[in-house]
Homo-oligomer: A and B are copies of this chain.
Amino acid sequence: MDAWRTAIVDARDGHIRIRGYDVSALMTGRTFTDTIFLLHQGRLPTPAERALLDAILTGVADHGAGAPSCAAARLAASGNRQSVSSAVAAGILAVGDDHGGAGLGCMEMIAEGLALAAAESLSIEDAARRTVEMARAQGKRIPGFGHRVHSTDPRTAILFDLARSGGIAGDGVAFVTAVERAAAAIVKPLPINIDGALAAVLHDMGFAPAFGRFVFLIGRMAGLTAEVAEELTREKPMRIRIPVEYDGEAPRAMDSQP
């Protein structure tokens, strides 16, 4: 087989270099969040960028045992206690467009909206209005906006404050706040939620849209592992019972053999 190409990690001589930096150097004086940034961007973050990525990762680390990712992990741990990897992976598999997925969708929307602004020499304000009108015409939700519980998600302000005070806030933050204004004018008040906020600041730090999904997976690993640890130490095997109501076909006899 041909060798696989990679530009991420060089471990040929037993020394590990991540994007060119010796792992030993990264282990002293740098943080895990620096390593995450470096692996995905190929450069180390500034202190302001690191603080912002730290805030995002903590912001998505855990949302409670009832979220699909954590619940799936606990269910797997309930039936298959010997394999920690299995339980954690089951949690990862519940993350998708409907759970942990709006960050990626919003980053794509930001990239498209800003490309539209550039292509047609529109202001960000006008491009945001077009984006909202298009979503409305197609009956689509705007990813990263609206919230079941909060009228305002406190995590949004934290990320935007960090981005502004760190000199990071740019077109991404400008675009999502313009979308918020446009939505309020055209549709209804739709506050920027954590997914919309992290999408904006990740865009402004130069991440590709796919990182909107990756960052959720990395952050959520902190919570998933803790949930699985609790399930295994505190609960009995097979303790989880989901009540099921059968509403199908009535009992029937088999008429004839084939």
Contact = CB atoms under 8 A, between A and B. Distances in A.
A90 to B, nearest CB: 4
A223 to B, nearest CB: 6
**Most chain B C-beta atoms within 10 Å of own C-beta, residue among A66, A85, A149, A247:** A85
Nearest to A63: B11
Contacts of A71: 4, 75, 240, 242
Interface in A143-184: 147-150, 154-155, 158-159, 162
Contacts of A245: 3-6
Contact of A210 (B84, B94, B219): B84
Q: How many copies does the complex hold?
A: 4
A243 interface: yes
A222 B39 contact: yes
Interface string A40-66: 101011110010011101110111111
A86 interface: yes
A29 B95 contact: no
B8 A227 contact: yes
A83 B81 contact: no
Interface string A1-42: 111111111111111111111111111111111111001101
Interface stretch (A111-119, A121-129, A228-236): A228-236
A65 B244 contact: yes
**Most chain B C-beta atoms within 10 Å of own C-beta, residue among A20, A46, A58, A251:** A58
A214 to B, nearest CB: 4
A82 B79 contact: no
Contacts of A97: 80-82, 237
Contact of A89 (B12, B27, B74, B89): B89
Given A9-B65, A11-B63, A39-B61, A85 B95 contact: yes
A222 B35 contact: yes
Contact of A158 (B24, B100, B233, B246): B24
Contacts of A219: 32
Contact of A33 (B18, B33, B80, B159): B33
A54 to B, nearest CB: 5
A59 B158 CA distance: 30
Nearest to A87: B93
A69 interface: yes
